[in-house]
Amino acid sequence: MQDTLEEPLPVEVGGEQPRRNGAAVFNFVAGWVLLIVFVVSFAACLAQGSGAASQYDLMKKLESDAREGVVTTVEVESLSGGRLDSVTMPPTNGYRFVTVSWREGLLRRHTQYVVASSEAQARKAQSDDRRARPVVVAPDSLQGHWEEVQPDVSVVAGEGRHSAGGSTQLFGIEWSVPSWAMLLGGLVAGLGTLTRLVVGPQPWRLTRWAWAWPVLLAWPIGVPAFLLFSGATGLLPPSTPQRRMGGLASLLLTASLTWLISSAL
């Protein structure tokens, strides 16, 4: 009986290609999740947050609306709470800080007033707080103060967004934003994008260091730009993937863009 030797079957090296495919799918899904999280949190900041402004900015808004014959809606709230009429009127004895907010286009702005029962209480408030705030002293009221400039001003009670929310610095301006949006946008979208930049595949268009500057220094623009243009979501592929901007050029561009946006705001 003649023995026959069977040709051994080729051994397939498993694991390497599936791991690469799995990593690519994970990076793709993670990029889209981060983009969605950022859009939701940033939209909430625009809808419910507000940027710090001054009494001068509010007065310009009142004067502009008065010239155009438009009603100005102003929200007021006090850290100590209280009804709307008691918040806009100075207290019987003492002082209170009142946060005032209004909308300019898509953005909401806010400032703070001191309403005091006397000049002495107004000086005490400024001494205790050590911040330059506009002061309204009895018998004047906030609404009466604004109606001198804009007769058609509608004063409504605030929704407590300033007392319940947090604050963050965006382009050199302090913004009051919902706490959950700050947590979602800053920790989840911001740190998630930075992690994706460090441990993910080589990004498009810019080197890793070049992408780090806008993500760290101008994250409201840098994070969505990275997620849209670096290949994190697979959108908008470049015509020449091998060409990438370096770190120094990116730093100068980020600094210039940040300065322009800060000046515009």
Which residues are 114's β-sheet partners?
A: 97, 135
Least confident of 26-30, 100-104, 116-120, 215-219: 116-120
Least confident of 1-15, 31-45, 97-111, 149-163: 1-15
Q: How far apart are CA 243 and CA 179, in angstroms?
A: 40
Residue 80 vs residue 207, higher pLDDT: 207
Q: How far apart are CA 161 and CA 50, in angstroms?
A: 9
Checking if the pLDDT of 249 tops 90, the result is yes
Q: Which residue has the tokens 């300065």?
A: 259
| Burial class of residue 145 in the structure, from the number of CB atoms within 10 Å of its CB (0-12 exposed, 13-18 middle, 19+ buried) | middle
Write the pLDDT tens digit of every residue in 23-81: 778 888 989 999 999 999 888 888 888 888 888 999 999 999 999 999 999 988 875 55
Checking if the pLDDT of 8 tops 80, the result is no
Q: Report percent pLDDT > 90 for the chain.
A: 29
Q: Which residues of 230-240 are buried (b: 16+ CB within 10 A; e: fewer)?
A: bbbbeeeeeee
Checking if the pLDDT of 265 tops 80, the result is no
Answer yes or no: pTM beyond 0.95: no
Residue 213 vs residue 135, higher pLDDT: 213
Output the pLDDT for position 106: 79
Q: Contact at 8 Å (CB) between 219 and 190?
A: yes
Q: How far apart are CA 108 and CA 49, in angstroms?
A: 7
Q: At what angle do helices 219-229 and 191-199 cross, to 10 degrees?
A: 40
The Cβ-side half-sphere exposure at 187, using a 13 Å CA radius, reads 6
User: First-to-last CA distance in the chain?
Assistant: 94
Mean pLDDT taken over the chain:
82
Output the pLDDT for position 65: 93
Output the pLDDT for position 234: 87
Output the pLDDT for position 10: 52
* Secondary structure letter of residue 206 according to DSSP: B
